[in-house]
Structures are given as structure tokens and as C-alpha cells.
Amino acid sequence: MMSLHARLKADEFPNCRKVAEELEVSSKTVQRDIDFMRDRLGLPIDYDPVRCGFYYTEAVTSFPSIAVSEGEIAALFVAQKALAQYRGTPFERPLRSAFRKITDSLKDRVSFSWGEMEDAISFHSVGASISDLEVFDVASQAVLRSVELTFEYQKLNSSRYEARHVRPF
């Protein structure tokens, strides 16, 4: 959203397709961000069909801020560290995108030093295996799409597998 705000303030007339390509997200995600900025944050955004892009209909001096506590900043730092375990998985791109949006929205609003936090906070995450993450991705997609899952299940003390069907939605 901060990227959209900057482009709108600069009268660049951003559109969903171009912003989506640059930020590596879907056009629908960009449209939802614009809708949120206009409808929930009350920013004066409209679409110009001649320039094929969005613009502010009146001057906007600052982006509406959100209150963030010190504990939430620390949690963001830990989350940023935890991203490393998802490198190369289906979750890497959406996690990076979400983290970028959150941290971009905090620029110029919160004063803290990543270096000081680096010295103060460290952790070692054993993380999940790649196969666990792949299974989780399949299951989460089934939930989101309301799709039945089928898998092989082996009962305790049994030598054979049975087909199981679940509806995780």
C-alpha cells in the first residue's frame, strides 16, 4: 500500500497490472489494496480511464498510520528472521510480500534500529521439512478452495494402507 501511495502522490497513475508485475503479486491483490485504501482508510482515490490508472482526487499529505507497540515490532523482527526457513518453498513469495507491505507501512512512523534488535534477539528454528511444507500447502489450498483431499492412511499396528477422504473446509 505504501508503494501505491507513493505512486499516487507522484501522479504516476498506477494501474493494477503494472503494480502487480512490479511487486510480484496478483492484480486482484493490488485492486483489494486500492479498495481498502479508498473504502477503509478514506483516501480520495479514483480511476482515470484516459490515463488507464488511479490517482488521488485531492491532495493527500500523509498515509493514515497504524499504532504498533514495541512488542509487535519485536514480533515483526522475529518473523523476518523466520522467513529464512521458508526459502525455496511455496510460502516464500507470499510471506516476503506480506512482510514487505507491513514494514513499508511502518516507515517514518516508528523509530527503531534493526541492528540493535539483531544484537538483542536471536533464535534457532528447527523449522518444518520441505515435504511437511508441501503437504501443508496442499492442505491449505484445499481449505481455501473447498476441495476434498484424498490420501493413504496406515492405522497403528497395521501393515496396509487405506484410502481416506477428508473435507478440511
Q: Which residue has the cell 508441501?
A: 134
2-56, what's its fold?
Arc Repressor Mutant, subunit A (1.10.10)
Extents of the domains making up the chain: 2-56, 70-120, 130-166
81 contacts 123 by C-beta, under 8 angstroms: yes
**Which residues are registered as beta bridge partners of 55?**
46
Name the strand (E) or helix (H) holding 47. Answer: strand 45-48
Binned at pLDDT 50, 70 and 90, residue 56 comes out as very high
Neighbours of 12 (CB within 10 A): 16
Does the global pTM surpass 0.75? no
% of the chain residues with pLDDT over 90: 37
